[in-house]
Structure 1
Amino acid sequence: MASALNPTDSAPGAHPEQQYLDLMRHIWDHGSERVDRTGIGTRSVFGATLRFDLADGAMPLLTTKRVYWKTATREMLWFLTGETNIRPLVLQGVKIWNEWPHARYVEETGDELALDDFVQRIADDEAFAKQWGDLGPVYGKQWVDWPTYRYRKDGLFEQGEGINQVAQVVDSLRNNPGSRRHIIEGWNVAEVDRMALPPCHKTYQFHVADGRLNCALYQRSCDVALGLPFNLWSAALLQRMLAQQTDLEPGELVWMGGDTHLYLNHEHLITQQLSREPQGSPTLEILRRPDSIFGYRIEDFVVHNYTPQAPIKAPVAV
């Protein structure tokens, strides 16, 4: 029988997606009911692990509902630019970050502008987007431009050159693959309060063994129904890109969750998804190797053998 918090103990030969479904079922049936930041309420467990082998192009792309992998890919490429304003995403039709700046706009101005109208203004008005579309120093800023400070002779501090953690990891994987310091960290304690949402998928560590690149992702907070399908895809995508850039084969993705939860208002999604069976084995092909980890484009990625079941909509908790 599968361990309660480690569904990877599922029966030998089970579809890799089954561990995700087992985790969802366990949280819904046995999780502790808690009042959360959003006021919606969750059922939650603490400490969960999922493992996926990425050999032969395999990807943790759920089939029991459609996951919009191109949206998740566009978000990952946006992270790698260091951008923190939603406008580049909005112009690509990516909606996943819209609610947070919209909520701030309504709260600070008192203008009950509808979300769709707010997003359209972000797209149409660059000045409006600059004022209201920024999320603060979220993921990409920390990944490629972690701030540093210098102590001046007059006793004051000034900002120094930012640290590009992603570039450093590429360099260390190439030149010191046995290192235990291949880490990308998003949790900057000094800047958490300035972020629209503190990083959930906060710490990535990479490990090289037998010519394969493994990745461990620690996620402090995880919305299993809506967030985790994106998080798994994105982590595996980053791992695949790094492997290509460092002449390694993709290895195992190990996902670890802290507060791992389901929202109480997602019952219809959970019930419907748990009634479905995984099907097929999606794979990812990267068509081009750019000169840099920062040079990938959306058209570089093609997914094969993906025949998911219908999408299941549910509200995002802000």
Structure 2
Amino acid sequence: MDPALQSRAPQAAAHDHFEAQYLDLMRRIWTHGHERSDRTGVGTRSLFGANMRFDLGGNAIPLLTTKRVYWKAAAREMLWFLTGDTNIRALVAQGVHIWTDWPLESYRRATGDAIDRDAFEARIVADADFAARWGDLGPVYGKQWVDWPVYEPVGEGLFRQRDKGINQIAELVDSLRNNPGSRRHIFEGWNVAELDRMALPPCHKTYQFFVADRKLTGLLYQRSCDLALGVPFNIFSAALIIRMLAQQCDLEPGELIWNGGDVHLYLNHAELVETQLARTPSGSPKLHILRRPDSIFDYAIEDFEVRDYAPQAHISAPVAV
């Protein structure tokens, strides 16, 4: 990293801005992180254990301003999770590409076809049978959130999976409404028995909620944190579901508390990191929810509006698969 960039970074961070903690964490990892090999073969600089807090009062939303975050893609992904769907077809039909690389890579390995992403997605949308064969991600996020599998005994040592699993989100809403003081307001994606069937085990794995003074605060524990590309989406999405739950439960939004386990920057993200750290955050984005649907599962992308968001230019970087 350019020493001059490091020396002027504190001035660039605008430390009274909500984004400063993110930039400080990025700088700390890039300058002092441990260089490690990783699953993707790209290599990272990593630190273990990090925390950020974002006040969600006054419609505030933690959208980074030092680069554009495509919040509608993150919102569409969250709505997709809540359906329990695990096939990318519905996402790519909406122009959301964030999950395509995993099934695309699987298809290329299995078939030897060097198809490009656009052609692969076009075939996923046009051909339901092709999508069913190649577009499914396994029992990722939404499947666990709204249909966690339950098994019942059918004989000695024999079990059968029930047709309908546990809807953790529905149970969470009921618990927040009727037992706000509970310490069990949790939903979880890390189903040990099904990890090997998932295209990618859940990174943002555990969500817990806390009600005090009629405010809803949410805590996200994220085991694996791609700070440059993934975390900007993750903190927006976590704040979004806090806002949705608060509205459904007649509460005010409190804070988002983000806890990261292995927080890392990929070594091939140097240009992104150094460009972003040279920028100064500014502005106060606001998220407005335009209607209150009948349930947490009935929101649509048109229900969300972000105002006062004037980010600096998008910074592209490769995704490590």
TM more than 0.5: yes
Q: Is the 8 A contact 2:104 2:117 kept in 1?
A: yes
Distance in 2, Cα, partners of 1:166 & 1:308: 32
Corresponding residue for residue 152 of structure 1: 154
Distance in 2, Cα, partners of 1:13 & 1:57: 21
Percent pairwise identity: 70
Q: 1:224 to 1:84 in 2, by over 3 A?
A: same
2:46 to 34, 39, 44: 44
Provide the aligned C-alpha RMSD in A. 1.1
Secondary structure of the corresponding residue to residue 121 of structure 2: helix
Q: Are 2:191 and 1:188 aligned?
A: yes
Gaps of 5+ in 2: 1-12
- Superposition misfits of 4+ residues, deviation over 4 angstroms: none
Q: Are 2:216 and 1:231 aligned?
A: no
Matches of residues 57-68 of structure 1 in structure 2 within 5 Å? 57-68=59-70
AA aligned to 1:215 is: G
Distance in 1, Cα, partners of 2:284 & 2:186: 29
Q: Is the 8 A contact 2:71 2:233 kept in 1?
A: yes
Q: Tell me the CA shift for residue 106 of structure 1.
A: 1.0
Distance in 1, Cα, partners of 2:290 & 2:14: 33
Distance in 1, Cα, partners of 2:192 & 2:58: 38
Distance in 2, Cα, partners of 1:111 & 1:269: 31
1:18 to 17, 20, 26: 20
2:217 to 211, 214, 218: 214
Aligned residues: 308
Q: Tell me the CA shift for residue 153 of structure 1.
A: 3.1
Q: Is the 8 A contact 2:172 2:186 kept in 1?
A: yes
TM-score by length of structure 1 reads 0.95
1:137 to 107, 127, 139: 139
Gaps of 5+ in 1: 1-10
Q: Write out per-residue CA displacement over residues 89-145 of structure 1, whole angstroms, 9 at most, x where no aligned residue.
A: 010000000000001111112222222211111011111001100000000000000
Q: 1:96 to 1:13 in 2, by over 3 A?
A: closer
Q: Which moved more, 1:41-50 or 1:102-111?
A: 102-111
Corresponding residue for residue 286 of structure 2: 283
2:259 to 247, 256, 259: 256
TM-score by length of structure 2 reads 0.94
Distance in 1, Cα, partners of 2:15 & 2:139: 43
Secondary structure of the corresponding residue to residue 191 of structure 1: helix
Corresponding residue for residue 109 of structure 1: 111
Corresponding residue for residue 248 of structure 2: 245
Q: Is the 8 A contact 2:14 2:20 kept in 1?
A: no
Q: 1:59 to 1:152 in 2, by over 3 A?
A: same
Distance in 2, Cα, partners of 1:13 & 1:187: 35
Q: Write out per-residue CA displacement over residues 43-92 of structure 1, whole angstroms, 9 at most, x where no aligned residue.
A: 00000000001000001100000000000000000000000000000100
Q: Write out per-residue CA displacement over residues 217-244 of structure 1, whole angstroms, 9 at most, x where no aligned residue.
A: 0000000000010000000000000000
